[in-house]
């Protein structure tokens, strides 16, 4: 039962984080002139449209990864119009940026809730921290579950924010690059990343590199939550 409860916490955190990420892409695209995701029902934090679009990435892979590793990973996606992106590469780049920024906002929100819990003696800073143990509850029962959920949400959204900013296709970071290019170069660049046969290699390389980057970034953010604690 304890493992089941922990798995449900993980899945709730995973689905909420991914849905907010993809819903932010979809909302940004709509505001910037592309109705593709809106017409597909993706401008929402209701998880069902996102699950229906990517059932393997939102159900099968997260459950299997948790069962075999104790960590949950997966994916979802929001559709967009490539022709709209070619006509408006700067808007396309802002749409790409919206997803990671939404995860950063969730990291900040979780950090603020942890600080609020500390102020009211609901939480305390644990002696040691890890991915799913950022804060600890003073009392048993429901507060323990809330502390664990906030911890998972904090770490998971920090991963989604940082990992997706890597400038390798198919990650969002590759879609942000047109912000720094002339329109002509941006269009050529978008044509390249949309048709490159190396997307899987880019994802694999990003994951290998990210393993060396995340730990120090995670530690920096933890010490921002607990100024002066000196976690290392």
Domain-embedded: residue 9? yes
Measured between its terminal Cα atoms, the distance across the chain in Å is 33
Are residues 136 and 191 in contact, defined by beta-carbon separation less than 8 angstroms? no
Domain-embedded: residue 98? yes
Domain-embedded: residue 149? yes
Determine which one of 2, 22, 39, 184 is catalytic.
Answer: 22
**Which pLDDT score, from 0 to 100, does residue 82 have?**
94
Are residues 26 and 37 in contact, defined by beta-carbon separation less than 8 angstroms? yes
Domain-embedded: residue 54? yes
Domain count, the chain: 1
Domain span at residue 188? 2-220
Domain-embedded: residue 209? yes
For 78-90, how does the pLDDT look when each residue is reduced to its tens digit (9 = 90+)?
A: 999 999 999 999 9
- pTM recorded for the entire structure: 0.94
Are residues 100 and 20 in contact, defined by beta-carbon separation less than 8 angstroms? no
The token pair at 47 is 């998880």
For residue 22, indicate whether it is catalytic. yes
**Which pLDDT score, from 0 to 100, does residue 1 have?**
63
Classify residue 42 by its DSSP letter: -
**Which pLDDT score, from 0 to 100, does residue 22 have?**
98
Whole-Å CA distances, 76 to 47, 58, 215: 10, 6, 25
Per-residue model confidence as pLDDT tens for the chain (232 residues) = 678 889 999 999 999 999 999 999 999 999 999 999 999 999 999 999 999 999 999 999 999 999 999 889 999 999 999 999 999 999 999 999 999 999 999 999 999 999 999 999 999 999 999 999 999 999 999 999 999 999 999 999 999 999 999 998 889 999 999 999 999 999 999 998 887 676 777 778 877 888 888 999 999 999 999 998 888 8
Domain-embedded: residue 225? no
Domain-embedded: residue 69? yes
CA 123 – CA 144 distance, rounded (Å) = 9
Domain-embedded: residue 228? no
**Which pLDDT score, from 0 to 100, does residue 194 have?**
83
């Amino acid at each position: 039962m304890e493992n089941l409860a922990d798995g449900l916490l993980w899945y709730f955190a995973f689905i909420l984080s991914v849905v907010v990420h993809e819903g932010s892409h979809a909302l940004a695209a709509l505001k910037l002139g592309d109705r593709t995701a809106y017409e597909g029902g993706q401008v929402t934090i209701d998880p069902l449209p996102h699950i229906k679009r990517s059932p393997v990435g939102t159900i099968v892979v997260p459950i299997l990864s948790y069962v075999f590793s104790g960590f949950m990973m997966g994916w979802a996606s929001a559709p967009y119009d490539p022709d709209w992106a070619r006509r408006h590469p700067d808007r396309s780049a802002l749409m790409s940026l919206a997803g990671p920024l939404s995860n950063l906002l969730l990291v900040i929100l979780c950090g603020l809730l942890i600080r609020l819990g500390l102020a009211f003696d609901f939480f305390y800073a644990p002696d040691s921290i890890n991915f799913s143990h950022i804060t600890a509850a003073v009392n048993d029962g429901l507060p323990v579950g809330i502390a664990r959920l906030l911890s998972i949400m904090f770490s998971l959204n920090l991963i989604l924010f940082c990992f997706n900013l890597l400038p390798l296709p198919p990650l969002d970071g590759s879609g942000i690059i047109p912000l720094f290019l002339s329109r002509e170069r941006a269009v050529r660049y978008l044509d390249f990343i949309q048709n490159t046969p190396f997307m899987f290699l880019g994802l694999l390389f990003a994951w290998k590199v990210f393993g060396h980057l995340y730990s120090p970034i995670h530690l920096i953010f933890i010490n921002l939550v607990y100024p002066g604690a000196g976690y290392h």
